[in-house]
Amino acid sequence: MAKRRLGRGLEEILGEVAQAYEREIPQNEVVEIEIDAIRKNPYQPRKHFDPVALQELAESIKSHGLLQPIVVIEDLDGFMLIAGERRLRASKMAGLTKIKAVVAKIDRHRYREFALIENIQREDLTPLELARSYKELIHEYGITHEELANIVKKSRTHITNTLRLLNLSPYAQEALNEGKISAGHAKVLASLGDQEQAAMVDRIVQERLSVREVERLSRQRQEPRGSFDLGPVVQELQDLGLRATRRGNRVAIEFTNSNEVRRFLQILAGDGEL
């Protein structure tokens, strides 16, 4: 029952985000504040900012000014950013010392929610940023992939496939962020071990392999002579949100904290799912 209440709370937050902003962030109260007085939101899941796009925005700000103010809240020794990190970064690049902002009155417990709202509703998030946002929502509210899919109006397959990107090795994640491989490539690579991912990334870049070609090569790597097909097993484990990869005739599951271990034990006991 607690899980359902949390799920409904999240749905209300995401489903009525426009009303929430209008109610809690008075858009007509725009002020100018010192850029150096603003610190980043520690709950901001967005990590990658395209330097070329930032420079273009900075040039636009120089020419036309900042058209949309950022959103901040008052902090102990200044302000903390809630929405608009890209605009803040570009304004710094443009040489501005002050920036237009709306000072919102938001409960401290909702900082994370508003940062996630801003990110999950954006169209220009990288696949990995979206995956991290989904993962945080699932852990924050204790909901399943199916429940999140219903809340954000996406398919369960989309949620699961996006979360699978978090199984990528750092090397493959960097290649994805830099556009060397596509999200389609990355979803195939996620079922491989780290060394296999690195080798496949290099082949994709050098040989310009299509997603279908990578799928074929991946199946060949995962099915050595005399072995049996563990692909469906790995897929099923990943669908449950586990960081599972195939290594020869073995399946490896990696955990980052004790909570993930406990959830895995619950799955084995048939008492729950991730």
Q: Which residues are catalytic?
A: 85
Give, in order, the Cα–Cα distances in Å from 207 to each of 170, 181, 243.
Answer: 21, 12, 28
Buried residues in 208-234 as b, exposed as e (16+ CB within 10 A): ebebeebeebbeebbeeeeeeebeeeb
Nearest to 129 by CA among 156, 157, 121, 184: 121
Helix axes 145-152, 2-15, angle to 10 degrees: 30
Give, in order, the Cα–Cα distances in Å from 115 to each of 17, 65, 81, 147.
Answer: 12, 24, 9, 20
Strands 30-34 and 70-75: unpaired
Answer for the pair 219, 188: CB distance below 8 angstroms, yes or no: no
